[in-house]
Structure 1
Amino acid sequence: MSRFSPNAEGPIGDWQTSKDKLKDCIQHILHNKTFSDCQFKVQTKSSSAQVFQSHKLILAISSPVFEAMLYGVMAEENKPIVVEDIEPDVFKALLEYIYTDNINLVSSDHYCELYYAARKYMMPYLQKKCMEFIESTLNNNNACKTYEFAKLFEEVSLMKDCLDIIINQTESALNEANLKDVKLSTIITILDLDFLNIQSEITLFNAVRTCANNNNEDKGLKRFNSHVFINCYLIVTLCYCFISLIVSFTYFS
């Protein structure tokens, strides 16, 4: 009589005998779906649906949110749990961290998304690891986007670090390639700073134009014609000239 593993195809192969550590056994059941008893259907507007098999007990001992979700009074048996606010790749990384204590991501953007997932499921140690990576990879190329992340989650220290980079490396931080998906409100915040290290006000003008053209939340601004942007540029230039005159007058007085 053949023996079969629950929720898995094929006979049990005595795989446990080849594992000398518990973590190796746990990693095995993650990748082979052995003994799985819950499902997650993960899909966002920008990604197709993926289904992840998992284990209630392991998730519950890792997160109070998972515990309530899987063992609480509102838990639903045999129904996939739908997740629509986390990308499938990031949710996969979340599960891998729970099962293996490793994070298999490389980009700061993905770590920001994983930070959100860790916060959602109340996993403070994972939040800390994500924040350490985000801080260690902060540079002039991602300062604007990281500032938005820090502002969203009220990470005051990280916000300050981002602004310090933007102030001291304004030209490169506001490069068009670094402003993809950056909100216009962020550029306005930067314009309000007391000092920016720029060679010309054209840098600010181009940053405003780039965000207005590329930012989805400001679609209406795409219809602005060139005269509007010229007026914006003139206003910025006049403001800087006015400030320069005040500084000069104060100095020579």
Structure 2
Amino acid sequence: MSDNKFLSKLSQNLLEILNDEEYYDITIEVGNDPSVKIFRAHMVILNYRSPYLRRILSTNKKKNDGILTHIKLPNILPEIFQAILRYIYGGSLSIGKYDTSDIIKILIAANELNLQELVEYLQLTLIKNNANWMEQNFNFIYQTSFVNDSFLELQKYCTDLISKEPEKIFNSSNYSLISEKILISLIQNENLQMSEVQVWENVLKWGHAQNPELSSDPANSII
């Protein structure tokens, strides 16, 4: 029997433990009203798999009074935490069943729980398989990637796209929604591979989208 078969069986058994209704010793309340769900879990597994949960559990050690340890994770949606929990127990994630926006939610949740292996994997997966979606939603990806220093791969993706393929941002259907900060990053980038005329035309297009009452004719935009 190969090592992979051993690991596959181990993963299956651990997921069966996750579904156990008898030996769990912690409950986790996830989400906010009206979307709240209680998950059952096992402290020893959470302790070794998530540094974030380990810190929480260290201050909520189970007492010998028969009362289960109970923690709350209000920032994570129940359906997202369910995917995370299956990864924590089984060491795998069926990424194909989630759309891009959900993958990003899983990424953000994984980062909150300090699951660095999963954080890196999801970033690389997004870049490899979801580039078109990210180009069309660049404003969101840019802001998400720079909100935390853990998203280094996404930060590099955004920086490279600004420098090497700015037309993908300028030509995206959501171009007018990008923030002023991103626009400034685009036009001030020393490695921007676009002529000054093209840059000026796109700045005017962005400005007109923000202020439709202004003329879209470049000649009328010069004071």
Query: Against the structure 1 CA distance between its residues 169 and 44, is the aligned structure 2 distance closer, same or farther, given a 3 Å change threshold?
Result: farther
Q: How far does residue 34 in structure 1 lie from its aligned partner after superposition?
A: 4.3
> Which of 142, 149, 160 is matched with 1:147 structurally?
142
Question: Residue type of the partner of 1:148?
Answer: Q
Query: Against the structure 1 CA distance between its residues 119 and 131, is the aligned structure 2 distance closer, same or farther, given a 3 Å change threshold?
Result: same
Distance in structure 1 (CA, Å) of the matches to 2:154 and 2:120 = 13
Please tell me whether the aligned partners of residues 41 and 80 of structure 1 are also in contact (alpha carbons under 8 angstroms): yes
Distance in structure 2 (CA, Å) of the matches to 1:44 and 1:180 = 32
Q: Aligned with 2:186: secondary structure?
A: helix
Runs of 4+ off more than 6 Å: none
Please tell me whether the aligned partners of residues 40 and 52 of structure 1 are also in contact (alpha carbons under 8 angstroms): yes
| Matched length | 203
> Which of 48, 54, 76 is matched with 1:67 structurally?
54
Question: Residue type of the partner of 1:149?
Answer: T
Q: How far does residue 74 in structure 1 lie from its aligned partner after superposition?
A: 3.8
User: 2:45 — aligned with what?
Assistant: 58
Question: Residue type of the partner of 2:51?
Answer: P
Q: How far does residue 98 in structure 1 lie from its aligned partner after superposition?
A: 0.8
Question: Residue type of the partner of 2:184?
Answer: I
User: 1:48 — aligned with what?
Assistant: 35
Q: Aligned with 1:36: secondary structure?
A: coil
Long gaps (5+) in structure 2:
1-7
Question: Residue type of the partner of 2:16?
Answer: H
Are 2:35 and 1:39 aligned? no
Question: Residue type of the partner of 1:57?
Answer: V
Distance in structure 2 (CA, Å) of the matches to 1:82 and 1:134 = 29
Are 2:110 and 1:122 aligned? no
Query: Against the structure 1 CA distance between its residues 158 and 23, is the aligned structure 2 distance closer, same or farther, given a 3 Å change threshold?
Result: closer
User: 2:17 — aligned with what?
Assistant: 29
Task: Spell out, residue by residue over 1:161-192, the C-alpha distance to the aligned partner (whole angstroms, 9 max, x if none).
Answer: 32332444444424564459754432332243
Q: Aligned with 1:61: secondary structure?
A: helix
Please tell me whether the aligned partners of residues 135 and 158 of structure 1 are also in contact (alpha carbons under 8 angstroms): yes
Larger-Rg structure = 1
User: 2:4 — aligned with what?
Assistant: none
Provide the aligned C-alpha RMSD in A.
3.8
Please tell me whether the aligned partners of residues 108 and 133 of structure 1 are also in contact (alpha carbons under 8 angstroms): no
User: 1:132 — aligned with what?
Assistant: 124
User: 1:90 — aligned with what?
Assistant: 80
Long gaps (5+) in structure 1:
1-19, 213-224, 240-253
1:234-253 map, 5 Å: 238=222
Query: Against the structure 1 CA distance between its residues 44 and 192, is the aligned structure 2 distance closer, same or farther, given a 3 Å change threshold?
Result: farther
Q: How far does residue 36 in structure 1 lie from its aligned partner after superposition?
A: 2.2
Query: Against the structure 1 CA distance between its residues 124 and 161, is the aligned structure 2 distance closer, same or farther, given a 3 Å change threshold?
Result: closer
Distance in structure 2 (CA, Å) of the matches to 1:134 and 1:86 = 20
Query: Against the structure 1 CA distance between its residues 61 and 164, is the aligned structure 2 distance closer, same or farther, given a 3 Å change threshold?
Result: closer
TM-score, with structure 2 as normaliser: 0.68
Q: How far does residue 202 in structure 1 lie from its aligned partner after superposition?
A: 5.0
Identity of matched residues, %: 19
- Structure number with higher relative contact order (C-alpha < 8 Å, ≥ 6 residues apart): 2
Q: Aligned with 2:124: secondary structure?
A: helix
Please tell me whether the aligned partners of residues 50 and 113 of structure 2 are also in contact (alpha carbons under 8 angstroms): yes
Query: Against the structure 1 CA distance between its residues 133 and 118, is the aligned structure 2 distance closer, same or farther, given a 3 Å change threshold?
Result: same
Distance in structure 1 (CA, Å) of the matches to 2:39 and 2:217 = 51
Question: Residue type of the partner of 2:71?
Answer: I
